[in-house]
Structures are given as structure tokens and as C-alpha cells.
Amino acid sequence: MSQSASAGALPALLGKPYRYLRLEWTSELALLRVRMSVRPIQCYSLAGLAEMQSVLDQLLANPGLARHLVFSSDVSGVFNFGGDLALFVLLVRARDRESLCMYGRRCVDLVWGMERAAAHGLHTIALVQGDTLGGGLESVLPFHHVIFERSAQGGFPEVLFNLFPGMGAWQFTVRRAGMVVANEMILSGRLYSADELQRRGLVDTVVDDGQGDAAVDQVVRSVEPRWRGTVAALRAQRDAMPVTRESLLATVEQWADAALALTDRDLRLMERLARAQARKVGGADEGAVEEIKRIELDTAWGEERDMASAWGALA
């Protein structure tokens, strides 16, 4: 891209009015910091996805405009709760498979753009400073460097309501950590601490709370002197263990079919979790993580009752 084209693209990018994003530019490092805040629930709503995709498209269409992209949350205690559960319930009850697939494709567009960032000369960092669930965790896996503050938690709870993370969790978790870890995390539905995620290979760096921004600065400044070599190596890394767009889109189709098979009980659990997410973003002491633990406990007691009934029938 010519220098004059770059000079025009940057003001257009930074000057656009965003509802859900806050952009910060550091010219010394050609670093774009994107902070996301979606209300009433910090999740990947269609509108939030559209804004994020718009920023990413401009960066990828103008190689050299930015050398580093940092994505984080503007909501205290929450990185991202992932998929828009309230929307999912609405679409499942309406039997609207087409819209479910459209939502899934929008998510794939975003993770695919992050997956190909190095091919466009862009080095990416995700900073997680709060809870990240389902699609929230899914979305950071294509980033080149993932930083968690120590109190942050993450996991794929979808199996608790008979669904699975359908926008790349399998592909990206297998590549980062292997099939055994992917099976454990996706099929258990449990939540993991930052240190547990680092031991499993999904997180690159764990720092104490409040030190995330300093860690981002350290990573960027360590890469900057060898930026060209780093992005070239990262591009080769992705080509060595490729995730294909076709496989991501095929998984979306399977996810939509699974969503349409959800029962009324499953949908009520999703609604319950969505309400807990809204409480958390609103400043309540308890939120989505606590609600997941309650759902796990309810499920365990249900299994206990089923087992007792089965033994009673055999007695």
C-alpha cells in the first residue's frame, strides 16, 4: 500500500463512529488497540460482530496500515460471553435455521480474518481481563499471542445445554493443544482458570491482575524490531497446520442442526444463563460463572436422582 493511501485509510478507520468499540492508536508502533463493550450483554451480537468485522476488513485491505492489533474488553470483569444466547433462543423457537447459519457465518468471517492476519502483515494479541465463555474463548484462539490476567476464567459450557461451540473451537483448540485437551474442554463444559488454560496450551502468558496492559506492551516491543520476520514465520506456522474456511463453515451447519434439536429445558437454561450474563455486566456480584456452576450442580443432582431411581427399580 502506498504511503498516501495509508495516510487516507487511517483517519477513515479512526474517525468512524463506533457504538460498541473504542479504538486507540499508537503511531510509534503502528498499533491499533480495539476495546469492545456491548450492552446489555457483553457478547458477540450481530451488531457488535459487524463493527469488529468492519475494522478488521479495513486493516486487511490496507496491509501496512497497522503492524499490531490488540483486542480486549471495555467491560470490567468480562472479556466476552460468546454467542448471543437470547438470539439463539429466539431463532430456535422460530425454527429459523437460515438465520442461525447466517449468525454462524458472521462469526466464522471474524475468526477467519484473525486466522489470516499474518498473511496481511498484521501481528495480533488478545488480552483477556475477565470471564470469557464459549465463543468468547473461541474467538481468541486464532490470535498470535493470548494473554490472560490471573483471575480470568474461560471454558466451553455449551454442552450443559446440549449444544457445542460451533465457530472454530474444535479446529483451533486441536491445533493449539491437541485432541485430548479439546475433548476434555468441549465435552466436559467445565470452566478453567488462567493457569489451567496456560498449562493446556490455549494461553501464552498469564500475568497478575492489573498487569495485562504492561504485558501487551512488552510483547509488542519485543516483536517490533523483528516484525517482518515474525509475521512471515507466523504465516508459515498457519500454513503448516492449516484450519480451512470450509471446515469452519461445515461445523456451523452441524451447529445449527444441533441447535434446532434443543428441548424446551435446554432453551430455558440458555435464557437463565443470558439473564446471569446481563446481571454481571450490570455490576452484580454474581453472574454467568456462578450460574454455570449452579447449572452443573442441578445437573449432577438430577443424575443422582436418576441413578437412585434405577437402583430402586432393580431392587
Per-residue confidence band for 243, with pLDDT thresholds at 50, 70 and 90? very high
Overall size of the chain counted in residues: 315
Note whether 138 and 82 are within 8 A (CB).
Answer: yes
Residue with cell 497446520: 241
Per cent of the chain over pLDDT 90 is 77
Please state, rounded to an integer, the average pLDDT across all residues of the chain. 90
Per-domain residue ranges for the chain?
3-263
State the architecture of 3-263 in CATH terms: Alpha-Beta Complex (3.90)
Q: What is the pLDDT of residues 186-217, one digit of tens each?
A: 999 999 999 999 999 999 999 999 999 999 99
- Which of 1-10, 173-182, 202-211, 280-289 is least confident? 280-289
User: Could you tell me whether strands 21-26 and 31-36 are parallel, antiparallel, or unpaired per DSSP bridges?
Assistant: antiparallel
pLDDT at 263 over 80: yes
Question: What values do phi and psi take at 143, rounded to 5?
Answer: -65, 150
* Per-residue pLDDT, 136: 96
* Per-residue pLDDT, 1: 45
* Per-residue pLDDT, 216: 98
Instruction: Quote the CA–CA distance of 234 and 144 in Å, as a whole number.
Output: 8
pLDDT at 294 over 70: no
Note whether 122 and 59 are within 8 A (CB).
Answer: yes
Instruction: Quote the CA–CA distance of 115 and 141 in Å, as a whole number.
Output: 9
